[in-house]
Amino acid sequence: MLCMTVGHAFAQDTLYVMKNGVVTQKLVVGKDVDRITFKAPQPVQTNTAIVNGQEIVLNSALLYSDGGTTYICLSNADHLTDFQTSYSGDIVLIAMPDALFGTDINFETVDYAENPVYAYYLEGGEPIYGASDDVNDWKASFLSATIKADTLNGKMTVKMNFQGNPDVDAKDFKVDYAGNFTYQAPSANYFTIDGTSTSVRKAFVKHEDDGSVTLYLSTGDVETVEELANAYYYAAVNVPQEALDGRTIDVQGQEPYSLILVDNLNNEQSEISQGNAGDAIGSLSVKAKDEGYVATIDVTGLGGTHSLKAYYDGVPTDAATEKPNAIVVNQKTTPLNKAIVTSEGDYYNVYFFNDADATANDTARADLSLKILKSEAQGDIVPFTNDGTGESLVITYNGETYDKESVSGDTPNANGGNASMTLDGDQLNITSTVFAAVKEGKHDIKTHFKGKAVVL
């Protein structure tokens, strides 16, 4: 429905054109003797985002809830279909606890520990600008930060104002949106640990040599089984071939199975199996379909105190899938065709090259280099730390060095990082990430190499 409303502003009248309850145009009205004429039409675009001084027109919105958190995606694209696809694009992403949706959120008063809230502009899935309500985060760039998001009569409104701090050359981050949105229902594939619910975001399947099948269910959207160590939680359930008919297996019964629950946040692992279930009670089942699997887990008493309820119905990724040897920054991939490892006292120096013909004399032109304590190169995740005796990890890329000192302080060059490495003879397996590197437009620097290296 189209309607017009004439209002008065100072000496000249103003005409507003509305469509479906939304102001689409603002026209200046001048008066002649005999009639009203409309001069100098001035279209008003209400659905916009201001990101570090740049205006972006917002044409679509998506609302999604998962694990007690509400996510809002706002984009220049004509339509957003689902959260997973939207998250990897160029969007404004706002997150808040379900209980705060529809309320006035002020970062000065919201309790970060109890009610985490954040808003970022993402390019290619990487955060470029914005902040969380951690006082040490948002106050580093903004003088104030407020958010209000709500839905009414099938429309969504979002008002957000992060006032940039000119003392650190930070500009405003604002959103003004009122319009249609797509609602995505929570995933049916859930993962509930100790009463806290989230989704199964990634699943892998491994066909064991004895014919049994292991399903890995992860709360993190990781690419390979090796990266499960980066997920907050994951479970691995194994059943024999004959049990893939979906039968219910009592964890205290006589049918063979195993179940492992890994909590990477607290560095805990709980494991039960047939005949070794301890005080755990409950059941599990895995059913093979023409395509994919259905898995159900309902067990309490894991590790004595933990409970796990999980459901998955889908087509998992083959666990044998290898991650390519490459450096990835802002969706740009540099294949790695050679790795050279040298020894320097308590450290390994690792040099990565796209050039397969590189030699030890070429280390200065390596595409990326990494220095890590030998004592830490045991496959565990090693962050940037310094205990006073030396750095645990140093990464150099594109002329920039990342270590504990550089990622800390008032002007960090990244939001941290980590690496994991093993070296068995000449077989090198290493994965590293520098998070939100400033020099790379706040994109991550991800590196992976698995294979034969030149060890000097």
Edge-to-edge strand list for the sheet holding 190-193: 196-199, 190-193, 306-314, 293-302, 281-288, 249-250
Q: Mark whether 100 and 33 lie in a shared domain.
A: no
| Domain end position, chosen among 130, 160, 184 | 184
Q: Mark whether 408 and 332 lie in a shared domain.
A: yes
Q: Mark whether 124 and 30 lie in a shared domain.
A: no
| Domain end position, chosen among 152, 184, 216 | 184
- pLDDT grade, residue 184 (50/70/90)? confident
Residue 6 has pLDDT above 50, yes or no: no
Nearest 10 degrees: CA dihedral of 204, 210, 211, 215?
Answer: -20
Q: Mark whether 66 and 179 lie in a shared domain.
A: yes
Q: State the pairing for strand pair 48-51/36-43.
A: unpaired
Residue 242 has pLDDT above 90, yes or no: yes
Q: pLDDT tens digits for 69-115?
A: 899 999 988 888 777 677 767 899 999 988 899 999 999 988 666 66
| Domain end position, chosen among 129, 153, 184 | 184
- 352 contacts 337 by C-beta, under 8 angstroms: no
What integer is the mean pLDDT of 20-44? 51
Q: Mark whether 116 and 154 lie in a shared domain.
A: yes
Structure token digits, residue 5: 């409303």
Mean pLDDT of the chain: 86
**How many domains is the chain partitioned into structurally?**
4
Residue whose pair of structure tokens reads 């800390």 in the numeric block: 408
- pLDDT grade, residue 2 (50/70/90)? very low
Q: Which helix (H) or strand (E) holds 433?
A: strand 427-437
- pLDDT of the residue at 389: 67
- pLDDT of the residue at 385: 82
Residue whose pair of structure tokens reads 């150099």 in the numeric block: 396
Residue 366 has pLDDT above 70, yes or no: yes
Tell me which residue range forms the domain holding 396: 326-455
- pLDDT of the residue at 416: 86
Q: Mark whether 299 and 198 lie in a shared domain.
A: yes
DSSP string of 323-335, one letter each residue: PPSEEEETTEEEE
Which one has a higher pLDDT value, 185 or 350?
Answer: 350
Q: Mark whether 134 and 25 lie in a shared domain.
A: no
- pLDDT grade, residue 8 (50/70/90)? very low
- pLDDT of the residue at 29: 52
- 126 contacts 436 by C-beta, under 8 angstroms: yes
Q: Mark whether 31 and 84 lie in a shared domain.
A: no
In 10-164 the beta strands, taken as DSSP E runs, fall at: 12-19, 22-31, 36-43, 48-51, 54-57, 60-66, 69-75, 91-97, 105-106, 118-123, 126-132, 142-152, 155-164
- pLDDT of the residue at 17: 56
Q: Mark whether 350 and 237 lie in a shared domain.
A: no
Q: pLDDT tens digits for 49-62?
A: 999 888 999 999 99
Q: pLDDT tens digits for 114-166?
A: 668 999 998 877 788 999 888 888 898 999 999 999 998 889 999 999 999 99
What integer is the mean pLDDT of 210-217? 96
Residue 190 has pLDDT above 80, yes or no: yes
Q: Mark whether 143 and 247 lie in a shared domain.
A: no
What integer is the mean pLDDT of 173-183? 93
C-alpha separations of 347 from 174, 385, 394, 401, 415 in Å: 46, 14, 10, 16, 24
Q: Mark whether 334 and 313 lie in a shared domain.
A: no
- pLDDT of the residue at 243: 96
- pLDDT grade, residue 325 (50/70/90)? very high
- pLDDT of the residue at 383: 87
Residue 23 has pLDDT above 80, yes or no: no
Structure token digits, residue 76: 């220049």
Q: Mark whether 201 and 287 lie in a shared domain.
A: yes
Q: pLDDT tens digits for 254-288?
A: 999 999 999 988 889 999 999 999 999 999 999 99
Among the residue ranges 235-239, 393-397, 437-441, the one predicted with the least confidence is 437-441
- pLDDT of the residue at 31: 46
